[in-house]
């Protein structure tokens, strides 16, 4: 590329140089905060919040820190419905002008340095179809990409402009960024990947100033984001995600053009889609940069890792009409904007973040009045002693008037030295609420200290020592009540963990090539920061081992070796690890009452043998965070923590691996969550866990009261094993009888055989499932099979109900179609349920101590939900069957015995009700309803186990022993054997014509008519009618089957779904 010195003869070139010069002088002037002293805060009240207007003008960062140190938040953007009324409220207190607004997407980080940056700038004048710049770089395939640049938009046009386009032979619109100016004066960007177009979304105001932008995309889930001036303006997923029609990544070896849209590879430009403006500092990475890295790039520091293209004149082919100039930019960008609220118009605008403006702190109303109460009741004994010893005001006595102190290392060290001395004296047995809040205010200021170049770093390590000691002293168990009283004010007890995390980040400045680890521990608080070199051939696990004071036991958290190898494979060369540890004390006591019981009481399940009491934090809190280029890295960790709770007699402790999620319930400071964490091994005094991410961890202990004795539990286990064994044998015998003895094929027998097979397989697995606990893979397999076969058993119970329904209500479906539907329901539905459950909850599928579904998560509903539905359907079917049976029995009784007594009629109806209930209960699965009563009494547990473990035996008795079809089939086998024996006799008789009809129903003797039919006619004409009116011994004579007496036009339908001869 060649360079040329150009005269500023174009409007846009003059505008470029002028804006850069004005920005440079303006930011130099704003570097010093112009503050006005002596203004008293103005307090305003609404239905939910208290607002405090601070007239002292500060830049955005100092305003945000000031509100945070007052235990408040900088004003958030009012809702649309509240905007007008809020503006009027401010005006009623004579507040005018602009005030700062908080950032909802994250905190703006104040840059610690600003430096000149001299770069080549490409000046695209008016829109043409000729001006372009080609990037001379070989691009690899990009499964993820980030492109960042500084941009100055031409405000004279509102047409669509192409900032850059990347084309490959297979896809012209492979990767592209386009934009235009909307009617409201905002520049809107849209990202194109593989020809898929994101919506145009506003990213910055079209004000002619320099703006920094970044666009990111990754192939996984098609996640994309657009950043402008350090803030994420838009993000979503699904932009050309992995699918059958989408490539795996952006293709490599393409052509990258700045300023034009390629309609063919490397050419065919259109004037209306060309770019008009100025661009510089374009960099491209083959990964997604995080917010911290984007802020670093915005500050003109290049992230070297995975950099594909870096801005350089030698790597550009510039078309002759594109102007190239050298410009000086004051990083991080000449324009650094924050949102402000315009009180007069109740609207929003932007202002330089370094500008000094008044601000408003927002309190939750309950927090504000707690602060007021603590202030009024304070004796200021601790604060007074600290200030007296320091001979200056180290801690202000008024929590509401403390200003932001820009501390250096020397001032911060002196303040904590004095505070530590006073706290060590221990003259006050327990801190007051106001004293604790004042100490936390000071710790907030110290954690925000800015280490200047040239300062003695040895003071920094001493500052860390004092910081940890102060934390340990205020977290002593004697202050538990004080911590509880201020928990809402400080937004939860984990606020101290956030403070320590800020402090441990400062210690990273002490790491050198010769000193790769800094460890500080005082009592029950410890912190460590270490630097890891990933260049070694073999990487071992990185562990943080902490010895508890006076316990002789250790807590441990480590990043496993395989994770270290994975990070190395990603191209990481150096990693920083931050670890913290908080031993058992006030912190855990407060956390046990804040966010543990509320979350886990709902998921604490019981089988009736135990009663859930509470959830407590039973271990130390330990944390680990990995960073590369100041960006947090996601990795899995293992941790092993010692239990710190006293032995509880007759209580059962169930460990739960959890982490503190600050994003849950932000007003309360967060809550415990179990996402991505699971128990590896659990002992009486410790628990080992694994989590697929890094943060603050602990082990929660669920406390249960034992409802059953060990003897009762053993009895229930023995009954279950014996009952399942008997049931299994009975089911196998029943299945063999159905298959071997030649029961006539029908829908009913087919359904019975499938139900018996599924139930037998489930009970066989259940009997031996405890043997698989030692092997996790085998236990997982057994659990999945148990889930499948029990679901299949219940599905075939549902089919039994549907079959009965088809007999009661006429169903217009052929038998073949019905059987296909039954098979889909009986086997297809369980396969789908188990498959979906495994796909969505693979890591939470199995319980910790049994080979069964995890009852601590929603996985259990993949079994309970369908079962409850099936039981509800079958209950309705049974009710309908009983209704039809009773009605039919009443009509038949009146026809056959019209003069019977009332007692006989009642007996007929009772038997007509009891018979279908007794016969259908085992196949409809209604005995499982007893399971919901197990928790009420040990008696119901016995009833439930007996009924369900002997379900197979009951099916054997009702559907094999007392089933007329089975008995007749067995009788036919006997008769066939007897007939075969007759063939060896010298005078055979024609016995096989009708063996069943040659015998009288009552006496079993050969009747004359039957004998005559047997010997004189080879073909039997009409079978004899059984005298059912004279059979039976229960009151009136009971029919053999359930029948519906229909009108003459509609023949009677006999219900043979439970035909048995024993009732």
Pick from 696, 558, 543: nearest CA to 623: 696
Tell me the mean pLDDT in the region 151-158. Answer: 85
Q: 39-43, 252-256, 408-412, 970-974 — which one is most confidently predicted on average?
A: 252-256
Give the pLDDT confidence of 36-60 residue by residue, as tens digits.
Answer: 344 557 888 888 888 999 888 888 8
pLDDT in tens, 265-287: 888 888 888 998 999 989 999 99
Please tell me the distance from the alpha carbon of residue 280 to that of residue 326, in angstroms, as a whole number.
10
Averaged pLDDT for residues 625-645 = 84
Kind of pairing between the strands at 637-642 and 210-218: unpaired
Between CA 817 and CA 806 the distance in angstroms is: 13
- Token pair belonging to 126: 């008016």
The pLDDT tens digits for 839-875 are 888 877 888 777 888 876 778 888 888 888 888 888 8
Q: Is the CB of residue 190 less than 8 Å from the CB of residue 198?
A: yes
Evaluate whether 118 touches 326 at the Cβ level (below 8 Å): yes
How far is residue 737's CA from residue 633's CA, in Å, rounded to a whole number? 63
pLDDT tens digits, 998-1016: 333 333 333 333 333 333 3
pLDDT at res. 824: 92
Cβ(144)–Cβ(286) below 8 Å: yes
pLDDT band at 164 (very low <50, low <70, confident <90, very high): very high
- For residue 332, cis peptide bond before it (omega within 30 degrees of 0): yes
Regarding beta strands 323-330 and 73-74, do their DSSP bridges make them parallel or antiparallel, or are they unpaired?
unpaired
Give me the pLDDT at residue 930, please.
62
Residue 794 pLDDT exceeds 80: yes
The residues with which 542 forms a beta bridge, in sequence order, are: 559
Mind listing the pLDDT tens digit for each residue in 367-394? 888 888 877 776 667 777 887 877 776 6
Compute the average pLDDT of residues 56-68. Answer: 85
Percent of the chain with pLDDT over 70: 72
Q: What is the pLDDT of residues 478-507, one digit of tens each?
A: 888 888 888 888 877 788 888 898 888 888
Residues whose CB falls within 8 Å of the CB of residue 832, separated by 6 or more in sequence, listed in order = none
Burial call 933-964: b when 16+ CB within 10 Å, e when fewer: ebeeebebbbebbebbbbbbbbbbbbbbbebe
Query: Is pLDDT above 70 for 810?
Result: no
Instruction: Give residue-wise pLDDT tens across range 88-110.
Output: 888 888 888 889 988 755 545 44
Q: What would the pLDDT profile of 25-39 be if each residue is shown by its tens digit? A: 333 333 333 333 445
pLDDT higher for 60 or 946? 60
785 vs 1054, which has greater pLDDT? Answer: 785
pLDDT value at position 336? 62
pLDDT in tens, 396-438: 666 555 555 556 788 888 888 888 888 887 665 678 888 888 8
Token pair 């192939």: residue:
219
Distances (CA, A) of 464 to 311, 422, 447, 526: 40, 18, 10, 10
Angstrom distance (rounded) from CA 962 to CA 1034: 17
Which residue, 662, 650, 591, 594, is CA-closest to 621? 591
- What average pLDDT does the segment 754-779 reach? 85
Q: Could you tell me the two tokens for 553?
A: 């036991």
Q: Pick the closest to residue 885 from 943, 959, 948, 804 (CA basis).
A: 804
Q: Which helix (H) or strand (E) holds 213?
A: strand 210-218
909: buried, middle or exposed (CB in 10 Å: 19+, 13-18, 0-12)?
A: middle
Cα(416)–Cα(465) distance, integer angstroms: 10
Q: Which residue has the higher pLDDT, 888 or 221?
A: 221
What burial class does residue 1030 get, using C-beta atoms within 10 Å of its C-beta: 0-12 exposed, 13-18 middle, 19+ buried? exposed
Q: Tell me the CB-side half-sphere exposure of residue 561, using CA atoms within 13 A.
A: 5
- CA 799/CA 810 separation, integer angstroms: 16
779 pLDDT exceeds 50?
yes
Q: Please compute the mean of the pLDDT values over residues 915-923 and round it to a whole number.
A: 65
556-579 exposure pattern, b = at least 16 Cβ within 10 A, e = fewer? bbbbbeebbeebbeeebeebbbbb
- What local confidence, expressed as pLDDT, does residue 1027 receive? 39
Asked if residue 102 lies in contact with residue 74, where contact means CB atoms within 8 angstroms, the answer is yes
Mean pLDDT on 827-849: 87
For 992, other C-beta atoms within 10 Å of its C-beta total 13
pLDDT above 80 for 451: no
- Which residues is 611 bridged to in the sheet? 705
Distance of CA 952 to the CA centre of its chain: 41
Residue for token digits 């002028």?
18
């Amino acid at each position: 590329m060649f360079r040329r010195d150009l005269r500023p003869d174009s409007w846009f070139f003059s505008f470029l140089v002028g804006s850069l010069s004005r920005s440079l002088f303006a930011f130099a002037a704003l570097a010093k905060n112009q503050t006005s002293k002596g203004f008293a805060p103005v307090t305003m009240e609404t239905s939910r919040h208290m607002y405090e207007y601070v007239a002292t003008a500060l830049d955005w960062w100092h305003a945000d820190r000031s509100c945070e140190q007052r235990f408040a938040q900088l004003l958030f953007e009012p809702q649309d419905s509240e905007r007008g009324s809020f503006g009027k409220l401010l005006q009623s207190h004579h507040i005018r002008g602009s005030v700062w607004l908080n950032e909802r997407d994250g905190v703006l980080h104040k840059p610690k340095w600003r430096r000149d940056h001299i770069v080549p700038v490409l000046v695209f004048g008016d829109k043409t179809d000729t001006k372009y710049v080609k990037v001379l770089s070989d691009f690899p395939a990009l499964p993820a990409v980030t492109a960042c640049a500084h941009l100055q938009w031409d405000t004279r046009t509102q047409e669509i402009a192409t900032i850059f386009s990347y084309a490959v032979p297979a896809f012209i619109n492979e990767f592209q960024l386009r934009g235009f100016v909307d009617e409201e004066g905002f520049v809107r960007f849209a990202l194109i990947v593989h020809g898929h177009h994101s919506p145009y979304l506003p990213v910055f105001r079209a004000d002619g100033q320099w703006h920094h932008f970044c666009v990111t995309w990754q192939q996984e889930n098609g996640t994309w984001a657009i950043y402008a001036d350090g803030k994420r303006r838009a993000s979503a997923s699904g932009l050309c995600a992995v699918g059958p029609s989408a490539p795996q990544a952006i293709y490599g070896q393409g052509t990258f053009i700045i300023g034009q849209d390629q309609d063919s590879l490397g050419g065919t430009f259109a004037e209306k889609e060309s770019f008009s403006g100025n661009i510089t500092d374009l960099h491209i990475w083959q990964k997604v940069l995080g917010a911290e890295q984007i802020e670093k790039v915005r500050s003109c520091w290049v992230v070297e890792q995975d950099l594909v293209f870096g801005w350089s004149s030698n790597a550009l082919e510039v078309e002759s009409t594109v102007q190239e100039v050298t410009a000086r930019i004051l990083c991080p960008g000449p324009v650094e904007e924050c949102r402000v609220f315009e009180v007069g118009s109740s609207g929003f605008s932007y202002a330089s973040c370094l500008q000094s403006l008044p601000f408003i702190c927002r309190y939750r109303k309950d927090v504000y009045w707690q602060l007021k109460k603590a202030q009024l009741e304070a004796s200021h004994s601790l604060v007074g002693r600290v200030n007296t010893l320091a001979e200056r005001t180290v801690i202000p006595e008024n929590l509401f008037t403390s200003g932001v102190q820009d501390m250096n290392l020397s001032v911060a060290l002196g303040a904590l030295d004095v505070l530590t001395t006073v706290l060590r004296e221990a003259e006050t047995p327990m801190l007051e609420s106001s004293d604790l809040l004042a100490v936390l205010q000071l710790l907030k200021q110290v954690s925000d200290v800015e280490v200047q170049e040239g300062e003695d770093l040895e003071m920094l390590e001493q500052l860390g020592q004092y910081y940890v000691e102060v934390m340990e002293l205020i977290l002593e168990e004697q202050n538990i009540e004080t911590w509880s009283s201020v928990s809402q004010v400080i937004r939860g007890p984990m606020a101290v963990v956030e403070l320590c995390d800020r402090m441990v980040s400062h210690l990273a400045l002490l790491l050198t090539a010769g000193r790769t680890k800094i460890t500080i521990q005082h009592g029950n608080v410890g912190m460590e920061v270490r630097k890891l070199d990933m260049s070694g051939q073999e990487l071992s696990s990185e562990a943080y081992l902490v010895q508890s004071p006076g316990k002789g036991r250790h807590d441990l958290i480590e990043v496993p070796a395989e994770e270290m190898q994975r990070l190395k494979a990603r191209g990481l060369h150096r990693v920083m690890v931050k670890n913290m540890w908080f031993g058992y004390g006030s912190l855990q006591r407060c956390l046990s009452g804040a966010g543990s019981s509320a979350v886990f009481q709902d998921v604490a399940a019981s089988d009736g043998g135990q009663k859930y009491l509470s959830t407590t934090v039973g271990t130390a809190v330990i944390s680990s965070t990995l960073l590369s280029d100041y960006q947090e890295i996601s990795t899995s960790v293992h941790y092993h923590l010692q239990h710190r709770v006293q032995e509880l007699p007759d209580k059962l402790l169930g460990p739960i691996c959890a982490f503190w999620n600050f994003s849950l319930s932000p007003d309360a400071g967060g809550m415990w969550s179990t996402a991505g964490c699971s128990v590896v091994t659990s002992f009486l005094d410790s628990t080992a866990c694994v989590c697929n991410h890094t943060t603050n961890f602990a082990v929660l202990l669920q406390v249960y009261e034992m409802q059953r004795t060990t003897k009762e539990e053993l009895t229930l286990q023995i009954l279950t094993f014996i009952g399942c064994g008997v049931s299994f044998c009975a089911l196998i015998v029943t299945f063999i009888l159905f298959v071997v003895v030649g029961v006539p094929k029908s829908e009913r027998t087919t359904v019975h055989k499938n139900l018996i097979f599924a139930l037998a397989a489930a009970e066989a697995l259940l009997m031996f499932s405890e043997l698989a606990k030692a092997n996790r893979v085998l236990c997982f397999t057994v659990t999945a099979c148990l889930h499948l076969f029990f679901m299949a058993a219940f599905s075939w119970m549902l089919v039994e109900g549907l079959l009965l329904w088809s007999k009661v209500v006429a169903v217009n479906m052929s038998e073949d179609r019905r059987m296909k539907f039954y098979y889909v329901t009986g086997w297809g539905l369980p396969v789908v349920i188990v498959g979906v459950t495994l796909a969505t909850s693979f890591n939470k599928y199995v319980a910790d101590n049994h080979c069964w579904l995890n009852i601590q998560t929603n996985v259990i509903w993949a079994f309970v939900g369908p079962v409850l539905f099936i039981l509800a359907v079958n209950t309705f079917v049974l009710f309908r069957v009983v209704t039809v049976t009773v009605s039919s029995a009443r009509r038949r009784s009146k026809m056959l015995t019209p003069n019977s007594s009332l007692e006989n009629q009642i007996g007929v109806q009772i038997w007509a009700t009891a018979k279908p209930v007794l016969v259908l209960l085992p196949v409809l699965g209604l005995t499982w309803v007893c399971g919901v009563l197990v928790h009420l009494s040990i008696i119901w547990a016995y009833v439930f186990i007996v009924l369900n473990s002997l379900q197979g035996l009951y099916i054997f008795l009702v559907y094999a022993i007392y089933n007329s079809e089975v008995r007749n089939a067995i009788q036919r086998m006997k008769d066939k054997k007897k007939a075969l024996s007759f063939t060896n006799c010298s005078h055979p008789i024609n016995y096989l014509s009708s063996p069943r009809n040659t015998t009288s129903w009552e006496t079993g003797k050969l009747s004359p008519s039957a004998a005559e039919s047997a010997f004189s006619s080879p073909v039997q004409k009409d079978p004899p009618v059984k005298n059912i009116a004279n059979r039976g011994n229960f009151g009136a004579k009971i029919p053999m089957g359930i029948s519906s007496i229909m009108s003459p036009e509609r023949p009677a339908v006999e219900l043979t779904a439970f035909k048995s001869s024993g009732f």
